[in-house]
Amino acid sequence: MITRSTSILISIVLGFCLSAAPAYAQLARTFVSSFGNDANDCSRAAPCRTFQRAHDGTLSQGEITVLDPAATAP
């Protein structure tokens, strides 16, 4: 009886752990570029396209760096 209730408890705990949402890592320094992609992680090698995505991926005391100026519309 004890082993059955223990296995049920372990199954319930594992079920809750597996349903938890994944945590997204935040960087102290993120990068934005006109050739970037918002699916990237905003690192120097894979910059973001928009400031919103970079803001969401930066720590509260972090820094957003612009790699190049985007062309402006006339």
**Mean pLDDT within 20-42:** 84
**Mean pLDDT within 44-54:** 94
* Whether the Cβ atoms of residue 33 and residue 16 lie closer than 8 Å to each other: no
Mean pLDDT of the chain: 83
Helix, strand and coil content of the chain, in percent to the nearest 5, comes to 30, 20, 45
**pTM > 0.85: yes or no:** no
Q: What is the pLDDT of residue 72?
A: 67
Q: What is the pLDDT of residue 9?
A: 72
Cite the DSSP H helix spans in 1-74.
2-18, 51-56
Residue 47 CA to residue 32 CA, distance in Å, equals 5
Residue 4 CA to residue 9 CA, distance in Å, equals 9
